[in-house]
Structure formats: structure tokens, C-alpha cells
Amino acid sequence: MWDEIGALARYHGDVPPEVRVLKLAEEVGEAAQALIGVHGWNRRKGQHASEEDLLDELADVMITAGVAIAGFTADPGRAGAVLTRRLATVMARADLAPVPDPGRMRHWTASAIVLAPDDRVLLVDHIKSGYLLFPGGHVAAGESLAEAAVREVREETGIDAAVITGPVPDHPPMIVHPVPFRVIECTAADPVNGDHAHIDGLFVCRAASTGIGQLSEHEITGARWVSLTEMRELPVPPELPGLTEAAIAWAATHASPAAAPGSPLVMVTSNPAKALTAAGHLAAYGLAVEHTQLDLDEIQSVSVAEVALHKARQAYARLRRPVIVEDGGFFIDGLGGFPGALAKAATSMLGLDGLIKLAGLTGTRAAHFESALVYIDAAGEQAFTSTGPSGTVARQPAGHTRPGAWSVLWDIWIPPGADRPVSALSDQDYAAYLDSWRSRSVFTQLGDWLRARLEAAR
């Protein structure tokens, strides 16, 4: 019920919750009018309402009250907890207090048993429970369980993890999602919102690296890698060691290599130059790149990673083969990073001359490129990002586009140490520029990760 109440609260999002309380008084009045109509207490109107009318009006009172609560709490889950807690209070007054039943409120959550190459597992110091737990949390609107698990790991620990799954059947044109390692229902003790049940999709993942990044400090106080032996001596829920042991054994038999040497990766792009660059970088890893074009929906987002992920998911859903999708942005430092991920749209609207004029307002004219690449196969998703060196925006376009250029912006961007845009560099300087970022490119990161993943699976 509270999912629907939350949807109604969002639908009426421009209506202040105080007004919703006043609306509640109106609904009570309509229920009273229906009651009068059922019994014919108004002699002039007589019996003019049915019992169904009365029940509908009473239901409207409940719905309006629920929407008002959800408006004040800004969280349907918390609104449900308010009602549950209040109902228990009223029942207690009548000496009818029920035994708390967490099944009355059930939340979908997702968590991950994240394994390092040496099978150590990632645990977080959870503030609310006081335990060391697997990373995880509630599934957000529009997310799949696997997407939520990977997001929670990244948000809580800064670690990128890829879901390990078994064989995924092909059911075109439907999207087949990774299957959780376990689906577990348990009671979540919550002194803030009230005890409730979690239905948790628990996934087994491999970490791209063991370096712990920025922590989600409002949820956890720390994160650590521990062995199974160490875990048994730590303050963890009693079921965690057994789940971890089973997950390690399961991963050993279900982890399919991301891509075997020589097997092609499908790069989906409308730019053949990008595919050629990818093929050149990945050839050193024994990986072939197959170029294809698909008509994909492109979201308008300020994040190049979100754009790449959105397109990669579409591509994999259609091809059901290992795919890579790259997206980039152009960031003018003095303009707060504008146009960023919206570079294509900005270039179309303003032209190169318009971008040059905007850069001229900043004084330094400093600008750089950022790139995001997403790889998806049957075992999950992995994202890579790269920030290029800071160069400058030229005072006028070079006037031509170099064959093999990734972007028309190469016609106005001058790399550091150069005196002209990329498209006007000599062949020798152009080759040196490409070599300078090869080691940190998203394609090199992908190659390193695929090689490490293949070695870990052996």
C-alpha cells in the first residue's frame, strides 16, 4: 500500500503537506455527508447514498491521511512505520497490543559478498546495527537488484564490483537480469523507523581492486578486507561465515571469464575512430574488438558515466554478447565544467565558435576531456573512468578535422605543451599525444581488469 501512497505523494509534489492536512478535513466532511445520505437523515434529500459510497469516502479519508503523512516524512517507508507504531500504541491502550510482526512492512534490499582475488571478503562497520556486514542497502526506484547491489558497494566503500552469476538464458526481446546467489528475508531492527523485514537479494561479486575509497560516513564507520578465518572471530551476524564460505565455493564454479583471449568484444559506437583506438589498446591483451552501430537512446545527463551505462545496458540487452560502450565529455574549467557530458548538444547549439567565446570569458581558457567506458557481459557490469590532462581552448578553430578524430572538439582543444589544437598537430606530435594517455585510458584500464579477472577465475 505504501508504495502507492508514495507515488500519490510524488504526483502531488507541488502541494505542501500542510494543504494535504486541510484536504483531509474536506474528505472527512464528504464521508459524513455519505453517512447522512445512507440513513436519509436529511429530509429534503432523503436516502441519496449507498453503503458503497460511504465506504469509498472513508477509504478516501485513509488515502488522504496517508499521502499527508508521506508528504511530511518524504519517505513512504517511514510513513508506514509511523502508522505501524501508532497502531501499536492505540492497541496497547485497549490492552490489545499485538506481537510485533515485521512481515507487515517488507522492504526490498540488495547486498553483495565482494571477493578479492585471494577470496578475502569486504565487510563494513555498520552504524545502525553495530555489526560488521556485507555492503548493501535499499533498492532505489527504477533499479534492478543487481544494480542496487553494485551501487551500494560503490557508495559505501568506493569499490567497483562486478556481479558473478551463472548461465543467463536468452529470452529475446526481454532483458534477463543476473540471478542473486541467495534471496533472504530477515528482520531489521530499526529504532528510528520501526522494526521491519528486509527481502534481500544477495549477490556474489569480484572487486576490480582492493583499494577502499570514500566511505558513506552516515551509514558506516569503516571498511576492511578479511579472510574467512578472521571473520569467524569478528562481531558479525552468525550466518555470515557460512554464507561467505558457500559464496567462495560457488564463485569458483560459476565465475565465467569476462572474455577469453581472442574472443571479440563488441564495441558499440557510431564513431569508427573510437573502435580503432579501442582495438589498438586492447590488442596487447589478446583481445579483438568488433565494431558495430546500434540506434540507442541517449539520456541527457551531466555524468558521462551515467550516459555510457545507459547505452551499454541497451546494447547488451539487444546483443547478449560482451559489449563495451564509451562516452566522453568536454569540461571548461572556468565554467564549472560546462558543457561536460552535454558537449555534443552544446557543440550542436553553439558551434565551435560559441564554445571558444565562452572559454574566453574564463581568463585561463583551461579545459580537459573526461571519458567513461562500461563493459557488460553475462557476469555483470564494470565501469572505468579517465580524466585527461588540462589543456586550453584555442582562440579560433584549426579549420580541419584530422582523419581518425574522436571529436570535432579536437579542432579547438590544445593539449598541454603544444601550440595548436590536436587536429593540427604534426603526425609525430599527434602520435606522441596518443601515447601520453594510453597508459591511463579507459581501454587500458579495461584490458588490465579483464586480464586480472581471467587469472582470478583460473
Domain ranges, residue 324: 264-457
Examine residue 135 and say whether the peptide bond preceding it is cis (omega within 30 degrees of 0). Answer: no
pLDDT for res 183: 93
Report the CATH number at residue 201: 3.90.79.10
- Lowest mean pLDDT across 205-209, 308-312, 355-359, 371-375: 205-209
142 and 79 both lie in a single domain: no
Do 218 and 141 share a structural domain? yes
Residue 205 and residue 117 share a domain: yes
Whether omega before 173 lies within 30 degrees of 0, making that bond cis, reads yes
Of 93, 119, 148, at which residue does a domain stop? 93
> Domain check: are 451 and 322 in the same one?
yes
pLDDT at 396: 92
Q: How far is CA 226 from CA 73, 223, 231, in A?
A: 38, 10, 6
User: Do the domain assignments include residue 294?
Assistant: yes
Helix (H, G, I), strand (E, B) or coil at 137: strand
* pLDDT surpasses 70 at 289: yes
**Cα–Cα distances in angstroms (integers) from residue 384 to residues 255, 355, 376, 415, 448, in the given order:** 21, 27, 12, 22, 11
Task: Give the long-range contacts of residues 62-67, CB within 8 A, separation 24 or more.
Answer: 63/5, 63/8, 64/20, 64/23, 64/24, 64/27, 65/24, 66/1, 66/2, 66/5, 66/8, 67/5, 67/8, 67/9, 67/12, 67/20
The verdict on 88 and 108 lying in the same domain is no
Q: What is the pLDDT of residues 106-161, one digit of tens each?
A: 888 999 999 987 789 999 998 877 889 999 998 987 788 888 898 899 889 988 88
Same domain, residue pair 232 and 154: yes
Residue 12 located in a structural domain: yes
CB distance 236 to 123 below 8 Å: yes
Average pLDDT, rounded, for the chain: 82
Mean per-residue pLDDT for 81-106?
67
DSSP-derived letter for residue 47 is S
Q: Are residues 70 and 113 in the same domain?
A: no
Question: Phi and psi dihedrals of 93, rounded to 5?
Answer: -60, -30
- pLDDT band of 262, cuts 50, 70, 90: very low
Is there a domain that residue 112 lies in?
A: yes
Three cell numbers, residue 315: 546494447
- Among 20-24, 94-98, 379-383, 440-444, the range with the most confident prediction by mean pLDDT is 440-444
φ, ψ of residue 161 to 5 degrees: the values are -125, 150
Q: Assign 259 a pLDDT band (cuts: 50, 70, 90).
A: very low
Which range has highest mean pLDDT (165-169, 272-276, 390-394)? 390-394
- What's the distance, CA 9 to chain centroid? 24
In a shared domain, residues 37 and 112: no
423/391 same-domain check: yes
Claim to verify: residue 331 and residue 233 sit in the same structural domain: no
Q: Tell me which of 447 and 102 has the higher pLDDT.
A: 447
Distance CA 274, CA 329 (A): 14
pLDDT of 140 reads 84
pLDDT of 256 higher than 50:
no
Question: pLDDT tens across 153-203, in order?
Answer: 988 998 888 788 765 555 555 566 778 899 998 877 665 556 678 899 999
| CA–CA dist 376, 323 (Å, integer) | 6
Residue finishing a domain among 93, 115, 147: 93
Count Cβ atoms within 10 A of the Cβ of residue 120 and give its class: 0-12 exposed, 13-18 middle, 19 or more buried.
buried
CATH of the domain at 72: 1.10.287
Q: Is residue 361 part of a domain?
A: yes
Range of 138-142, 250-254, 375-379, 443-447 with top mean pLDDT: 443-447
Q: How many CB atoms lie within 10 A of CB 333?
A: 17
pLDDT at 403 over 80: no
Q: Bridge partners of 226?
A: 121
Q: Is residue 306 part of a domain?
A: yes
Return the pLDDT at 103. Answer: 46
Do 62 and 161 sit in the same domain of this protein? no
Same domain membership, residue 391 and residue 243: no
Structural domain ending residue among the three candidates 254, 289, 315: 254
What string of DSSP letters covers 319-373? H-S-EEEEEEEEEEGGGTTTEETTHHHHHHHHHHHHHHHHHHTTSS-EEEEEEEE
Residue 388 lies in a domain: yes
CATH number for the domain harbouring residue 409: 3.90.950.10
Question: Domain total for the chain?
Answer: 3
Q: Is the pTM of this model over 0.85?
A: no
Is residue 259 in a domain?
no
